[in-house]
Structure 1
């Protein structure tokens, strides 16, 4: 069994903000897999199977700084090791258009990851980091992460979310090394240096049927 925790903040005011990009990946992943969101004590949950592997997908409803409160009960109930956990997060230190998978390491200032490390007493779990870029000069990072996406960013955002779904499924089926090999060189920025574009088909893993739809049509929970 695998657990995927997508970090974000509950409430309509936070929907479609940079800090909630992981929830956009989770919503698209659930949609593709035909999984239904159900309310839990500390998180919304959706379950599905990929090649026989059960996956529990959760969106903590505890607000970002208390994300561990939602992750820990699932880890304990299913007796999961850290190797069975993938955390999907936004990443200020990565440029918008870039995603990467890593295992272990410090939280990098991401408060949801910080709290999960605290409650699990380990850093040894996988993270799917979705780049949202540093704010423009003079803008407060706290204000930046809670800002809405610009219309000009949406085409890249939709593709980035689609790739995030593919990377999550690759991690489930093949593990972090294979997911890193397939997705860590992707870069959707215009004319990035040494960029390698991932083929669109890379996201179309088994049991991830159906084509991506505009995020405006994806139900936000």
Structure 2
């Protein structure tokens, strides 16, 4: 069975080490653990990960965050993957740094990448993993915060967190959404 795993972020060196690229970091970790290289392709970089009989098409869109839906729609059609087997990894300022929240579907929560995907694929009925980046910014400084670089403390925690996210994705595709949510959603 095929799944489309999408790590959201922005291309370009100026965004490489920013909080908004948390999805790219998780996609990189998932592919690296399987030794699957990314290749540049239409609307993004793609790696193919095989795990327990499942084929995961791992996508890092090159359309920039606000147009992510265009890449997702293309790869869904190209690989003939239905919406229920799409899983998106995205940064979330509403969650404390390092907290994870997996959902089977849901609103975009004000995130432009998720909004674009829902508009392009016909709704919000796809899985997602929200990676908490915290919300430690002054009023009016949200853009600077999400496009800002990780602190040294955050950067030190990222390898463990992105590994946990990769485990959550593999759980989602092999054990199902409910089990993945029970195992990996951070309790408050």
| Cα distance in 2, alignment partners of residues 57 and 96 from structure 1 | 24
Which residue of structure 1 aligns with residue 106 of structure 2? 105
| Cα distance in 2, alignment partners of residues 142 and 82 from structure 1 | 30
Which protein shows a greater Rg?
Answer: 1
For 1:82-121, list aligned pairs within 5 A.
82-121=83-122
Select between 112-121 and 72-81 the one with higher mean Cα deviation. Answer: 72-81
Which residue of structure 2 aligns with residue 35 of structure 1? 36
- Segments of 5+ residues of structure 1 without an aligned counterpart are 187-193, 195-221
Greater share of helix:
2
- TM-score normalised to the size of structure 1? 0.81
| Cα distance in 2, alignment partners of residues 66 and 91 from structure 1 | 18
For 1:17-96, list aligned pairs within 5 A.
17-96=18-97
Query: Over aligned residues, Cα RMSD in angstroms?
Result: 1.2
Runs of 4 or more consecutive aligned structure 1 residues displaced over 4 Å after TM superposition: none
Q: Deviations over 1:127-181 (max 9, x none)?
A: 0100011132345101110000011222322221111111111111112111101
- TM-score normalised to the size of structure 2? 0.95
Residues 1:123 and 2:157 aligned together: no
| Cα distance in 2, alignment partners of residues 136 and 84 from structure 1 | 35
| Cα distance in 2, alignment partners of residues 54 and 81 from structure 1 | 14
| Cα distance in 1, alignment partners of residues 69 and 167 from structure 2 | 25
Residues 1:4 and 2:5 aligned together: yes
Partner SS for 2:137: coil
- Segments of 5+ residues of structure 2 without an aligned counterpart are none
Number of residues paired by the alignment? 187
Which residue of structure 1 aligns with residue 158 of structure 2? 157
